[in-house]
Amino acid sequence: MKRSLLIAAAAVLLVVPVTTLATPAEAGPVCTTARTLCLGDVNSRVRVNQVGYLTDGPKEATVVTMRNTPLPWQLRDAAGTVVARGSTTPRGVDTTSGQNVQTADFSAYHSAGTGLTLAADGDTSVPFGIGVNAAYEKLRVDALSFFYTQRSGIAIVGSIAPGYGRAAGHLGVPPNRGDTDVPCQPGVCDYRLDVRGGWYDASDQGKYVVNGAIAVYELMSAFERTKLAPAEPGRLGDGSLRIPEHGNSVPDILDEARWELEFMLRMQVPAGEPLAGMVHHKVHDRAWTGLPQDPAADPQPRELHPPSTAATLDLAATAAHGARLFQPYDRTFAARLLAAARTAWTAAVAHPAIYAPSSDNVGGGAYDDNDVSDEFYWAAAELYLSTGEPAYLDAVMASPWHTADVFRPQGFGWQFTATAGRLDLATVPSALPDRARVRQSVVDGAKKYLAMLRASPYGIAYAPLDGKFDWGSNDLVLSNLMVIATAFDITGDRQFRDGVVSGMDYLLGRNALQQSYVTAFGERSSHNQHSRMYAHQLDAALPSPPAGSLAGGPNSSIQDPVASSSLRGCAPQSCYVDDIQAWSTNEIAINWNATLSWVASFLADQREAGPVPAPACSVSYGVVFDFGHEFLARATVRNTSTQTLDDWKLRYAYTGTQKVTWAFNATARQTAASVEVTPGHSRLRPGESTTILLAGRVDWGPDTVPASFSCG
Ligand code: 9MR
């Protein structure tokens, strides 16, 4: 059959007109099956963020249309009354979707509400809200609570995760054959390891150090950000997530990160063995299991796969990172982490080229990587930031990644970790000689992503080099939003905050498929993700993935049978289907939810009425004397606001191991890393300054200055 006839037949079969309204050449492949959500009756051509918009934030929608001249749009409230109107901007054919589109900007409308709709070109959007900061707060908690239900080696308690209770998986209880005493693959080693715990990676119940590492980094970074930027640290504190470790005085996000770190430590080759200090790349089933599969009922033998330099360096990076964060809560654990990080670094230097091969993909994913220069950079960066030691600084400065452009259009993740190192070198205080340049590089990278976002009529801050969307593209979009968010934290420049707010629209429904990729967020959200535990689509007795689960998203390579048969010829953005068997486009994974958690946490910190306000004071904090393990610091606080500060307090957090023991001209109280200073000078008029002296100890590591202060 001729192509044009085929397209006509498909359109007749679908009864309703195709909604992509692109040229026939583009419309054909996108709309030939119902799976592609091309049905005009359910798929509005007006694409919005289905969760909604912040009252004081950018508000844009994308309209799929054949027209190329501006069209009128109307914003209606829940009662159907037009509350704002305007006209669209023609954007031509969008290369990522093949759709001819226009954008509608209703940012000037600031009133909060629910059930709003946007109409243009004879079609109306799904309902959405304005004033959705609370939804982002919920997203932060949901996205982070995902990790609890992914835990291995512990029973999931139904009262904590309603609907998701299950027996502990892989604790050596039959039919499980792991993970308490796991042998290596034949010929790899002659010892066995107890590698219980950690998180199941995705749908499969494998546990992979490199993917665990990037996920745990993002969780720890979301926590560390509360010390580096104006944020509300309590929101990530003890009791904030749906996890069992409430009431232990440790922020829940760190409790969750520790679950994975403990597992990663168990993957390190023990002293006395030939590759001592290296880290096994992964542990998983000998053969693939089918769907559904309860972890506790998995009968497959588990095997340790060979150590790799990438896994070793990733343990070095995250254990070093964790050491500085856990120090205020558990010094013994912090010391264990730091020792393991040092050992791993030394082992990686001695074995710099042991690569995980792409062929090792039976029973689990390969997570192959044969360039570990970026992992060396990241590990050196975290070791330097935590210890301040010259050897690690030298490794940072000597790395080609230190001056290269690490802000790649295709984003970063488990396979490319230099960006993680760069972001932390830019934000965590240190004596890095070229720190100002490093900070500027993040701002420059973010500007590039912002330009991409603005050039894309769907607001996508992601542009893979060949135009093909990668496996897990949603995660890569979010990774670039992390960079834009970090630029906001560095500069306070509102365009970056607005960029992140706007960039989230794509993931929550403003896209070619009108799909919210986050379960239970938005009218049309993904809920059939590929998962052995949450296989509701296959067995009605099982749950769907929990609220806040991110689907991997459009993947041009469509490697699974369902996607490859139903999406053949898809435009990049349309290479997605919410089907449980479409594992190459629709899986869930810890690294993806970690990036979502980071960005959701940033968004939750952005209030309705503009970014978190600048502090009422400026603080100049300097170390006056450093006697090795003791310090004397001076903080000069100036009231930069227009209001007199009465009975005010100075608040900040250390990123290192400092502990204030005494204050002059003030009283200081330190809880974990957070310090609250009550000055003797309790009234500070606008423009007035006061100086406070603080004495304290440094257990180990550098005596760096705090990064962010608040007064009030
Ligand atoms: O996220 C991984 C992606 O970057 C790779 O291209 C893909 C193929 O190797 O593998 C993805 O990771 C999967 C892993 O191999 C096994 N567990 C599920 C992961 C998410 O799909």
Ligand 1: does its nearest atom lie under 6 Å from the Cβ of 560? no
Residue tagged active-site, from 303, 578, 579, 703: 578
Residue 21: per-residue pLDDT: 37
Q: How far is the CA of 298 from the centre of ligand 1 (A)?
A: 20
Q: How confident is the model at residue 465 (pLDDT cuts 50, 70, 90)?
A: confident
Q: Give exposure, 392-429, as e/b (b: 16+ Cβ within 10 Å).
A: bbebbeebebbeeebbbebbbbbbbbbbbbbbbbbbbb
Residue 40 scores a pLDDT above 60 = no
The CA 367 to ligand 1 mean position distance, Å, reads 7
- Inform me whether the pLDDT recorded for 323 exceeds 70: yes
Range in 27-36, 43-52, 422-431 with the lowest mean pLDDT: 27-36
Nearest ligand 1 atom to the CA of 206 is 17
Is 100 exposed, middle or buried, given 0-12, 13-18 or 19+ CB atoms closer than 10 A? Answer: buried
Query: To the nearest whole percent, how much of the chain has pLDDT over 90?
Result: 91
Average pLDDT value for residue range 268-277: 97
pLDDT on residue 233:
63
Name the 3-class secondary structure at 305: coil
pLDDT, mean of residues 284-302: 98
Nearest residue CA, atom 5 of ligand 1?
471
pLDDT tens for residues 363-407? 999 999 999 999 999 999 999 999 999 999 999 999 999 999 999
Please identify, by atom number, the ligand 1 atom nearest to the C-alpha of residue 559. Answer: 8
Question: Ligand 1: distance of its center to the CA of 587 in Å?
Answer: 9
Of residues 513, 523, 520, the one with CA closest to residue 549: 520
- Residue 494 in contact with residue 609, Cβ under 8 Å? no
> Confidence band (pLDDT; 50, 70, 90) for 628?
confident
What are the DSSP calls for 582-599, one per residue? -TTTSB--HHHHHHHHHH
Question: Cα 553 vs. chain centroid, distance in angstroms?
Answer: 15
Which atom of ligand 1 sits closest to the CA of residue 361? 15
Residue 542 has pLDDT above 60, yes or no: yes
Give me the pLDDT at residue 691, please: 96
| 3-state SS assignment for residue 135 | helix
Rounded Cα–Cα distance for residues 39 and 18 (Å): 7
The closest alpha carbon to 452, from 479, 472, 492, belongs to 479
Secondary structure, 3-state, 333-385: HHHHHHHHHHHHHHHHHHCCCCCECCCCCCCCCCCCECCCHHHHHHHHHHHHH
pLDDT (0 to 100) of residue 4: 42
Q: What is the rounded CA–CA span in Å between residue 225 and residue 216?
A: 14
Instruction: Tell me which residue of 144, 279, 289, 158 sits closest to 218, measured CA to CA.
Output: 144
Quickly state the pLDDT bin for 463 (edges 50, 70, 90).
very high
Q: What is the mean pLDDT of residues 599-607?
A: 92
Check whether 3 has a pLDDT greater than 70: no
pLDDT at 612 over 90: no
Q: Where in the chain is the domain with CATH 2.60.40.10?
A: 2-130
β-strand partners of 74: 85, 119
First to last CA, the chain: 73
Domain 2-130, CATH 3.40.50.10470 — does that match? no
Closest ligand 1 atom to Cα of 358: 9
Q: CA geometry: angle at 217 spanning 214 and 222, to 5°?
A: 130
Going by pLDDT thresholds of 50, 70 and 90, the confidence category of residue 693 is very high
What is the rounded CA–CA span in Å between residue 431 and residue 490? 17
pLDDT for residue 608 = 77
Measured from the CA of 583, which atom of ligand 1 is nearest?
21
Distances (CA, A) of 327 to 145, 228, 424, 654: 24, 17, 18, 11
| CA–CA gap between residue 81 and residue 192 (Å, rounded) | 69
What is the CATH code for 617-711? 2.60.40.290
Q: Give the span between the Cα atoms of 668 and 697, in whole angstroms.
A: 14
| DSSP single-letter state for residue 611 | S
pLDDT greater than 50 at residue 39 = no
β-pairing verdict for 709-711 and 645-646: unpaired
Buried b (16+ CB within 10 A) or exposed e, 692-703: bebbbebebbbb
Angle between helices 309-326 and 331-350 (to 10 degrees): 160
Q: What is the pLDDT of residue 230?
A: 82
The answer to whether the CB of 366 is under 6 A from ligand 1 is yes
The verdict on whether 626 is a catalytic residue reads: no
Question: Ligand 1, residues 201, 291, 559: which to mutate, most atoms within 8 A of Cβ?
Answer: 201
Q: What is the DSSP string of 139-159?
A: HHHHHHHHHHHTBSSSPBPTT
Give yes or no for residue 557 CB within 6 A of ligand 1: no
* Dist. CA 513–CA 327, nearest whole Å: 46
Active site residue 539: no
Residues of the chain with CATH 1.50.10.10: 134-402
CA angle (55, 61, 62) in 5-degree steps? 170
Tell me the pairing of strands 52-53 and 128-130.
parallel
Residues 466-518: tens digit of each pLDDT:
999 999 999 999 999 999 999 999 999 999 999 999 999 999 999 999 999 99
Q: Is the dihedral of CA 7, 8, 12, 17 positive or negative?
A: positive
Q: How confident is the model at residue 606 (pLDDT cuts 50, 70, 90)?
A: confident
Known active-site residue 587 = yes
Q: Given ligand 1 and candidates 203, 211, 362, which is best to mutate, with the most ligand atoms within 8 Å of its CB?
A: 211
Q: In terms of residues, how long is the chain?
A: 712
Sequence-ordered list of residues with C-beta below 8 angstroms from that of 462, at least 6 positions apart, any chain: 409, 410, 411, 452, 469, 473, 476, 477, 480
Q: Which of 358, 362, 367 to mutate to test the pocket of ligand 1 (most atoms within 8 A of CB)?
A: 367
CATH code for the structural domain at 134-402: 1.50.10.10
**471 Cβ below 6 A of ligand 1:** yes
Instruction: Pull the structure tokens for residue 706.
Output: 């705090």
Active site residue: 170, 280, 305, 530, which one? 530
351 is catalytic: no
Q: Is 210 in the pocket of ligand 1 (CB under 6 A)?
A: no
Question: What is the chain's percent helix, strand, coil content, to nearest 5?
Answer: 35, 20, 45
The residues near 348 (Cβ < 8 Å, ≥ 6 apart) are: 278, 309, 312, 313, 316, 372, 375, 376, 379
What's the chain's average pLDDT?
93
Residues 380 and 395 sit within 8 Å (Cβ to Cβ) = yes
pLDDT for res 42: 57
Percent of the chain with pLDDT over 70: 94
**Residue extent(s) of CATH 2.60.40.290 domains in the chain:** 617-711
Distance CA 200, CA 530 (A): 14
Q: What is the distance in A from the centroid of ligand 1 to the CA of 594? A: 15
SS3 of 18-47: CCCCCCHHHHHHHCCCHHHCCCCCCCCCEE
User: Which atom of ligand 1 is found nearest the CA of 366?
Assistant: 15
* 472 Cβ closer than 6 Å to some ligand 1 atom: yes
Q: Give the residue-averaged pLDDT of 116-141.
A: 97
Is the pLDDT assigned to residue 6 strictly greater than 60?
no
